[in-house]
Structure 1
């Protein structure tokens, strides 16, 4: 497995993502890679092959946006199945990578697979971070450019629902991110109350 070449290949491709992907840009992929590595270390994942496959899945998890907006996870898997054999990945390794990618589809469903749980938590790591607000605004802008505009109140209601129903899958994310996520939820509720007050 030549993971560095596989990663470089897809990161180069991600420069071609449409500029209206203000949230799902190359920067998001790099953020998810970093979060996945940190979570894997904290969760005690030490097997080199497992760590490599997680890294590869993180690099490819949103590559499907190169060809489609809806169903991008399946498109990312199709890309992985096409290019990863050329970098020395076996069929079984590629299928695991695709399972990890598909686990990030909304609503997330990682099942019991530890690597899938890590990737799902890494994908939404920002929900429990101080940069939640600016990142959520890039998502709002992106959705508007794809025919889903939200006014301020509708956006806050959507955020309230998402933050309320979202769960972290790993012990580490639940410990490190859940308290801050609850703080963001309280901020959303306060803003919504102020905005909709008579």
Structure 2
């Protein structure tokens, strides 16, 4: 895809952009976002970096991927509905202050949009961010994050019961596909185990 960051970004600016937005997420996100919380964003950034290393993309490209991870749920600061679009709007408004070009911001917005369900990806960067966002599906942390999402959804729909939640989870796991090679080869088999455990637990 080429070298998108043609300039040198001072280390302080690199750190500051993450610190600034993370502080806003910590201070301004609603308490009831048990899943879409600052810890989730930090986890996604870390997994973006992990997958970027496996894909052997450049340092500059990895930085853009991590920025997309940073902003992918920032739209919740504005509102829950269509938060991916709101996240892109925030990135478009704020990233020029840090010297990002229009081309870079467009690429970042593409990565943010790739996290929209159902996920659709068009390049390796979007594949990385999409898999980083739902990385937990293929790990032993599945139950923890699933429970956090259940708590969050129940805030908006108090009538949501465990049987309905089981159906939502099962349908989601059946429809979901990983995009990166690591996702397909390593996370997918564990996701299938998690799905089987979910089914067995529901039968009890």
Q: TM-score range by the shorter chain?
A: over 0.9
Q: CA RMSD in A?
A: 1.1
* Map of 1:84 onto structure 2: 95
TM-score normalized with structure 1 length: 0.93
Task: Quote the Cα distance in structure 2 between the aligned partners of 1:186 and 1:175.
Answer: 18
Kindly indicate whether the alpha-carbon contact (under 8 Å) linking 1:3 and 1:56 is maintained by their aligned counterparts in 2.
Answer: no
1:104 equivalenced with 2:115 (yes/no): yes
* Map of 2:139 onto structure 1: 129
Give the secondary structure class of the aligned counterpart of 2:190. helix
When the two structures are aligned, how many residues end up with a matched partner?
192
**CA shift digits 1:76-117 (9 cap, x unpaired):** 111111111111111111111111101111111112x10000
1:31-110 paired onto structure 2 within 5 Å = 31-45=43-57, 47-110=58-121
Kindly indicate whether the alpha-carbon contact (under 8 Å) linking 1:143 and 1:149 is maintained by their aligned counterparts in 2.
Answer: no
Task: Quote the Cα distance in structure 2 between the aligned partners of 1:103 and 1:159.
Answer: 20
1:180 equivalenced with 2:190 (yes/no): yes
Task: Quote the Cα distance in structure 2 between the aligned partners of 1:28 and 1:190.
Answer: 27
1:19 equivalenced with 2:31 (yes/no): yes
Task: Quote the Cα distance in structure 1 between the aligned partners of 2:24 and 2:86.
Answer: 14
Structure 1 residue 41 displacement after superposition: 0.8
* Map of 2:6 onto structure 1: none
* Map of 1:152 onto structure 2: 162
Work out which of the residue numbers 149, 155, 173 in structure 2 matches 1:163: 173
Change (3 A) 1:81 1:73: same
Structure 1 residue 192 displacement after superposition: 2.0
Task: Quote the Cα distance in structure 2 between the aligned partners of 1:94 and 1:30.
Answer: 20
Kindly indicate whether the alpha-carbon contact (under 8 Å) linking 1:140 and 1:149 is maintained by their aligned counterparts in 2.
Answer: no
Give the secondary structure class of the aligned counterpart of 2:80. coil
Worse overlay, 5-14 or 127-136: 5-14
Give the secondary structure class of the aligned counterpart of 2:103. helix
Give the secondary structure class of the aligned counterpart of 1:19. coil
Give the secondary structure class of the aligned counterpart of 1:158. helix
**CA shift digits 1:109-143 (9 cap, x unpaired):** 112x1000000000000001111101101101101
Worse overlay, 57-66 or 159-168: 159-168
